[in-house]
Amino acid sequence: MSCPSGAAKDALPNGVCSAALNPCGPRRGLGCSALPYPYPALCSQFTEPPLQERWNKNNAELPEAESELHRKHMKEAWGDQLTQQTTEEAAKLGEKKRYENEYKTTRGEALERRSQEEEKPQLEETLLQQIEELKLQETKATKLKKEQENLLKQQWELENLEEERKQMEEQRRKKELGRFLKHQCDVQLRRRVQQVQEELETDRQILSTLLEKEEEDQSWQSPRRGRAVADVAWMKKVIEEQLQLEKEREAELETIFREEARKMWEKREEEWEREKVARDRLMSEVLAGRQRQIQEKMELNRRAQEESIKYREQLIKELEEAKEGTRQEKEQEEEQQRAHRRELQAQGTEHSLGEEQQQQEGSARQHLEELEQQEAKQGWHSRFYSYPRAAWT
């Protein structure tokens, strides 16, 4: 074993051989730890710096290669971080847009529900008005039915009055025939006067009844009705005047002789016949006018009932449609609420997964930073320990 010469020999203490300090010499496998104390400390103190300086002098490209390798590692690390940051920003932007769209959708649904809630009282008010209108129409229909029944009753009464007059006329003719056969002119005259008075009284009562009916019925006004009322009043007045005249004539019969009574009978019979013809004509016109009034009112009543039925059917249809629309809106609102709850649950699950993913990404970044720090440290120490030390010769 030979000792080093030159500067290496001068750097060692007196009595220390370089062969004893060289781990790569003949005693390979025995480093500084194989030397007795205090030689390992001397190796650490005097041997490594000169060896490193010599290595660095002999290998000038090593620092540049180490720097290039370190820059390459740093570029790769920063590139991964940049890609990850871009991905995270894109994910955050997509999440933000999704939340904005969900917010717009939720807000639109809320505004629509608010609009429906604001329109609901108005719809309820409209339904209540339609229900009240339906009740009024039903009341009107009931009133029209009663009016129709009253008109039918009046028509029946008018027909009975006409039939009664015909029967009285037939009875009068039969009585006249019987009295003529008895040749009792005076008695017949008195009976005839009484009969005429009875006929006049009957006609007066009929006209009074018609006039009362016309005065009670104020719901139907027309020029024809006014003329009919005036005709009835005038006819009643004429009958009353004739009745008064017959009473005066009856008083005169007490002072008339039989012959004069007979002549008076013939004369009065002619007058009575003329008066009766005129009276029958007027009564026929009055009754026919009343009949026309009743027919017109019945026709108006029938049309009003038809319109009322159509209007009620329309109201019932609208009410049913409104109820169906309310039911469908309620079902749609409930379905929207269920979908909104499902969406919120899905968002909560997705948010939890996103948080977990962010935590995992954070842990990965932290681990990467630790690796980068370790690589940086290894890159720094590699300048001193990465490569094997050459043996002295």
Residue 309, both tokens = 């039925």
The DSSP code sequence of 25-58 is SSSTT--GGGSPTTHHHHIIIIIHHHHHHHHHHH
Residue 210, both tokens = 């018609």
| pLDDT at residue number 18 | 41
Residue 181 is inside which H or E element, if any? helix 62-182
Question: Per residue in 308-336, pLDDT tens?
Answer: 888 888 888 888 888 888 888 888 888 88
The DSSP code sequence of 331-381 is HHHHHHHHHHHHHHHHHHHHHHHHHHHHHHHHHHHHHHHHHHHHHHHHHHH
What is the pLDDT of the chain when averaged over all its residues?
Answer: 70
Handedness of CA 188, 193, 197, 199 (dihedral sign): positive
| pLDDT at residue number 375 | 61
In this structure, are residues 246 and 311 in contact, taking their beta carbons and an 8 Å threshold?
A: no
| pLDDT at residue number 121 | 75
In this structure, are residues 131 and 319 in contact, taking their beta carbons and an 8 Å threshold?
A: yes
Band (pLDDT 50/70/90 cuts) for residue 265 is: confident
Lowest-pLDDT choice from 178-192, 221-235, 245-259, 273-287: 178-192
pTM for the structure as a whole: 0.39
Phi/psi of residue 41, nearest 5 degrees:
-65, -35
| pLDDT at residue number 221 | 59
Residue 9 has pLDDT above 60, yes or no: no
What amino acid occupies position 338?
R
| pLDDT at residue number 258 | 59
Cis peptide before 38 (omega within 30 of 0): yes
Residue 55, both tokens = 């290595």
Q: Detail the DSSP E strand segments found in 158-305.
A: none
Question: Per residue in 161-177, pLDDT tens?
Answer: 878 877 887 777 666 65
| pLDDT at residue number 80 | 73
| pLDDT at residue number 383 | 43
Question: Per residue in 66-108, pLDDT tens?
Answer: 777 777 777 777 777 777 777 877 888 877 877 777 777 777 7
Residue 60 CB partners (closer than 8 Å, separation 6+): none
| CA 353 to chain CA centroid, nearest Å | 40
| Between residues 360 and 133, the one the model is more confident about | 133
Question: Per residue in 181-238, pLDDT tens?
Answer: 445 566 667 777 788 888 888 888 887 887 787 777 665 556 666 677 777 778 778 8
Residue 105 CB partners (closer than 8 Å, separation 6+): none
| pLDDT at residue number 6 | 41
Q: What is the mean pLDDT of residues 112-134?
A: 75
| Between residues 47 and 87, the one the model is more confident about | 87
What amino acid occupies position 380?
W
